[in-house]
Chain A
């Protein structure tokens, strides 16, 4: 079973920030939070990941709460091309684990 819960869908106006929440209350100390997105039926695409600290890259920012039980993915200026299903997943960095995805959040960016 997935260890994360996300709202099934969200809307965002084009040009505005999209804030996608994720709950992972049972996260273990050695588990990272990863975010992926899937556009149409393409393969999921990596966005960002973090352990404790907030992270930022060219695609997004990741805010992780101090207790690590939840996180928020921020797309600072959403475009129509950001319309996709966004998956939050937690897993340890050692290989060979069964990496289970939840249902994700379907983000619709509207003009």
Chain B
């Protein structure tokens, strides 16, 4: 059974600081996704990582994937209040098939304060 674990589960950051959220998974996969969820809202796709060494960046967020270590990171640079949200990583169980099923991590609740 695939398990996906994120840490930390809660992250309180000061504006302007840097931090990293980690996502570990238990079985082989080369597809990993990061999503953002604002309170009471649905999930918004942030990044799709499809191969070992993949790195994607959007604004102050950068995601990377190490399939050998079964680890993905979401790095936050110079945090701002607008980044406050819950961040989920999700791993595709099906690998190469077209209807893969995602297993989600528990989510990391990020709060950025002045």
A and B found bound together: no
Which residues of A line the B interface, CB within 8 A? none
Q: Which residues of B contact A (CB under 8 A)?
A: none
